[in-house]
Structure 1
Amino acid sequence: MRVGVVSFRTVHHRRSETTERIQTLAELLCDDGHDVHVFCARWWPDDRDVAAEEGITYHGLAPDRDSGRSFLLRLPVAIRKLGPDVVHVGANPPKQVGAASLGTKLSRTPLVLEWDGSIGDGAETDYKRALRAADAVITPSQLVRTWARERGADGDDVTVIPDPIDVDRIRAVDPGEPAEVVYARQLDDGANLESVMLALAELRDRDWTATVIGDGPRREDYESMAGDLRIADRVDFVGEADRDERIASYRAAHVFAQTAEYCPFPTELAWALACGCVGVVEYHVDSAGHELVEGRERGFRTTSESELADAIIEAGELESLDFDDSFAEFDRENVRRQYIECYERVQDQRGLFG
């Protein structure tokens, strides 16, 4: 299948939840032998219009990421010229969706929109217009699906497809240094690591260690907080860690604590649960963390630090695992299959009504 992917900015310009999800999509399709073409602003140093990397073809429709107008003007013609079987467009920036929609109308090609819930460049009305322009909308969680419906997307057209994990990679990495509790996220204003710290402080008289993975502007504040709570000697701030290092930590830990206030999809929690961790999630209205633990024996949903502390104690009574095959549904192959099924569905619909 030839797939046109529209993303003005890519991970080569700046890494964000939006660009990383689009990159993951392109890699999933490419690894399965599909012909993937990404329409973007040029990120390579010379003046070539086309560049290829790891099997993905990039079409630089603008000389840089400051040339948005040029990109929008050239996109419809580029889509028509490529003749893809389906066009997959990111919702950020939202105005690229309108240009992509025009291109798909010219080439009678279905349009699938990817939205991770973030509001970036553009007004609220631009996102509402974008969500209504696509034949199908893909979101990473039920939470973001609800946000899409609130902005006018037809609920029947919105499909939830999570961020993928790699089961084979988990199996290939040995467990690392043991810890009772692990937390992983960028340590910024939305991290809400203080909930974990206060819960652990309530358990000061028990035997435990904790690992905090991630870096950011709040790291020093959290390290100072650990000292003030008299738990600094048991909380190890390890900073940034690559995927294999994270897997090793998760396979060796007993509990993964998810407390972020904003989380469209809890990617690290999915990896940790597949690595055998018990999930302890603090509920927040703008977080989808609870979606992965509701209805699962090895999962707890909490609403306060005291409940979080109680859940950590209760989780300690569950069997220690370093792999949980019930999360194979999140494996790369299954996630890729969901994307292909969505493409085939909109192609069939376009064939009937196009």
Structure 2
Amino acid sequence: MRVAFVSFETVHHRDSETNRRLQTVAELLREQGHEIHLFCARFWEGDVDTFERDEITYHGVVPNLEAKTSFLARLPRAILSFSPDVVHTGAFPPEQVISASVGATLARAPVFLEWHGEGGIEDTWWNRRAARWADRIVAPSHLVATWIRELGVGSRVVDVVPDPIDVDRIRSVSPDDSVDVIYARQLDADANLESLFLGLAELRDRDWQATVIGDGPERPVYERLASDLRIDDRVTFAGTVPREERIAAYRGAHVFAQTAEHCVFPTEMLWALASGCIGIVEYHAESSAHELVEGWDRGFRTTSEEELADAILDAGDLERRDFDETFTEYDRDRIRDRYLTAYRALQDSSGFL
């Protein structure tokens, strides 16, 4: 299958959640032998218009990110010249969805809109237009799907497809040293690590060890808080560590705590749950993390530090695991199949076959 991805800004320009999500989908399809071309602003040196990396062909529709207007104007013809089977566009900037849709119409291909929802989705004229110009929209969680439907599109147009994990990779990594509680996220203003620390402080008279994976501008604040709460001797700040080490840490841990205030999809938590961790989620209106633990017998949803502390105690009665079959449905192969199934359904319904 020939798939045209559209993203004015790519992960090679800026490593954001939105750009990573679209790049991941492109790589999933490329791994199975599909022909992937990504139309974007140029991020490579030189004057050549195309650039190949890891078997993905990038088309530099414009020379840089300062040329957005030219990108929107040139995109339809660029898509037509590739003659794709499907046009898969990101939602930022929303104007590119309309431009990609024009190119898709010329190429007689359906439009698939990937809407990650990082930073929320504002009810703007351009966002409403973007939502209505796509044949199908995919969101990473029901939370984001709700935001999209609030733009005025029907529920039948929006699918939920979570971020993928690599189950074979988890199985291949040996568990690290045992730890009771683990937390992993960028330590920024939304991390809300204080909720976990206040909950752990309630258990100061118990025997536990915790690890915090991740770095960021708020790390010094959280290190001071751990000291002020007199739990710093039991909390290890591991900093930024590569994926293999994170998997090993998750497989050795008993509980993964998710307390962030904003989260469109809890990718790190999913890796941890598949690695055998019990999940404890502090509920927040702008976080979808609770969706992973609802109806699951090894998951807890809390609304306060006291409830979080109680959940950690209750989790102590559950067995330790280093893998959980429940989450194999999120494996890369299955997520890729969901995209391909959606593509083919779009082609069948559009009459562009």
Same fold (TM over 0.5): yes
- What amino acid does structure 2 have at the position aligned with 1:248? A
- What amino acid does structure 2 have at the position aligned with 1:154? G
Aligned to 1:142: 142
Count residues with an aligned counterpart.
353
- Which residues of 2 match residues 75-154 of structure 1 at below 5 A? 75-118=75-118, 124-154=124-154
- SS of 1:80 mapped into structure 2: helix
- SS of 2:307 mapped into structure 1: helix
| Distance (Å, rounded) in 1 between the aligned partners of 2:320 and 2:235 | 20
| Distance (Å, rounded) in 2 between the aligned partners of 1:38 and 1:154 | 28
**Residues 94/119 of structure 1: CA separation in 2 closer, same or farther (3 Å cut):** farther
Deviates most, 114-123 or 23-32: 114-123
Aligned to 1:224: 224
- What amino acid does structure 1 have at the position aligned with 2:299? G
Give a deviation string over 1:189-219, Cα, whole Å, max 9, x none: 0000000000000000000000000101100
- What amino acid does structure 2 have at the position aligned with 1:337? D
| Distance (Å, rounded) in 2 between the aligned partners of 1:244 and 1:301 | 28
- What amino acid does structure 2 have at the position aligned with 1:288? S
| Distance (Å, rounded) in 2 between the aligned partners of 1:240 and 1:164 | 21
| Distance (Å, rounded) in 2 between the aligned partners of 1:100 and 1:41 | 14
Give a deviation string over 1:119-167, Cα, whole Å, max 9, x none: 5899722111111110000000011111110012221011100000000
Aligned to 1:237: 237
Task: For structure 2, list consecutive stretches of 5 or more residues without a partner in the other structure.
Answer: none
Normalising by structure 2, report the TM-score.
0.98
Normalising by structure 1, report the TM-score.
0.98
C-alpha RMSD over aligned residues: 1.3
Task: Check whether the contact 1:92–1:120 (CA below 8 A) recurs between aligned residues.
Answer: no
Task: Check whether the contact 1:94–1:121 (CA below 8 A) recurs between aligned residues.
Answer: no
| Residue 118 (structure 1) shift | 2.8
- SS of 2:233 mapped into structure 1: helix
Aligned to 1:56: 56
**Residues 123/39 of structure 1: CA separation in 2 closer, same or farther (3 Å cut):** farther
**Residues 333/265 of structure 1: CA separation in 2 closer, same or farther (3 Å cut):** same
- Which residues of 2 match residues 1-354 of structure 1 at below 5 A? 1-118=1-118, 124-351=124-351
| Residue 234 (structure 1) shift | 0.4
| Distance (Å, rounded) in 1 between the aligned partners of 2:89 and 2:226 | 43
- SS of 1:37 mapped into structure 2: strand
Task: Check whether the contact 2:49–2:59 (CA below 8 A) recurs between aligned residues.
Answer: yes
Task: Check whether the contact 2:260–2:287 (CA below 8 A) recurs between aligned residues.
Answer: yes
- SS of 1:233 mapped into structure 2: coil
Runs (4+) of structure 1 exceeding 4 A deviation are: 119-123
- What amino acid does structure 1 have at the position aligned with 2:247? I
